[in-house]
């Protein structure tokens, strides 16, 4: 299990570094968007390439940060139900969810995206809009996002098993979002 936990920490480190770095894509997308709007209003000019660049940047930020979001336990879940269970049951729900839903979905997406990206790259697929960008980088970002999400899914499965076996502390103890903050803090301190 120690080797698997080392592997899990390596995955966590990679997704954390990528997740934090791609946050800058949002700023770049906002600047591109603002610049495009100013040029359009001031000079009555526009470019499909700039509009598509915004889409690539937002899509890249979303897809490449999904694994980091999973590692931080920040994906949306139904807290009304989940929060009523003990932490051990929550770990079981997470483990089964990762194994039965997350992993089959992301692995299926990777399986179908590889030939999709390769075909786009080999053909030099371009935008259907006049003056648009080449398309394969956006498709490659989609593939990279699902590969990262699959790797992080493996890491989360390893960690859930290790936590349930008592081989590691819970790195993200669950605090229900509907509980008042002072109540949650008091519960953590054992008051």
Sequential pLDDT tens for the chain (191 residues): 888 999 999 999 999 999 999 989 999 989 988 988 888 888 888 778 888 888 889 889 999 999 999 988 877 776 677 778 888 888 898 899 999 999 999 999 999 999 999 999 999 888 777 777 888 999 999 999 999 999 999 999 999 999 999 888 887 775 555 555 455 555 666 65
Query: What pLDDT does residue 105 have?
Result: 96
Is the Cα torsion angle 177, 180, 182, 183 positive or negative in sign? negative
**Spatial separation of the C-alpha atoms in residues 81 and 179, rounded to whole Å:** 13
Whether the Cβ atoms of residue 142 and residue 59 lie closer than 8 Å to each other: yes
Nearest to 118 by CA among 135, 95, 93, 94: 135
Query: What pLDDT does residue 112 have?
Result: 96
Query: What pLDDT does residue 188 have?
Result: 62
Query: What pLDDT does residue 186 have?
Result: 58
pTM above 0.75, yes or no: yes
Query: What pLDDT does residue 14 have?
Result: 95
Query: What pLDDT does residue 12 have?
Result: 92
Query: What pLDDT does residue 121 have?
Result: 92
Q: How many CB atoms lie within 10 A of CB 59?
A: 16
């Amino acid at each position: 299990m120690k080797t698997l936990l080392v592997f899990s920490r390596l995955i966590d480190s990679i997704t954390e570094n990528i997740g934090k770095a791609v946050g800058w894509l949002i700023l770049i997308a906002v600047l591109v968007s603002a610049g495009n709007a100013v040029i359009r209003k001031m000079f009555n000019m526009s470019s499909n390439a700039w509009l598509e660049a915004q889409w690539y940047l937002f899509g890249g930020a979303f897809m490449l940060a999904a694994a980091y979001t999973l590692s931080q336990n920040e994906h949306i879940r139904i807290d009304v139900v989940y929060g009523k269970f003990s932490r051990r049951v929550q770990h079981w729900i997470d483990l089964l969810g990762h194994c039965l839903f997350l992993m089959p979905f992301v692995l299926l997406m990777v399986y179908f995206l590889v030939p999709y990206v390769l075909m786009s790259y080999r053909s030099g697929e371009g935008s259907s809009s006049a003056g648009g960008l080449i398309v394969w980088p956006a498709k490659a970002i989609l593939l990279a996002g699902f590969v990262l999400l699959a790797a992080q899914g493996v890491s989360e499965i390893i960690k859930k098993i290790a936590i349930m076996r008592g081989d590691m502390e819970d790195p993200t103890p669950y605090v229900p979002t509907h509980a008042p903050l002072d109540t949650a803090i008091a519960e953590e301190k054992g008051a």
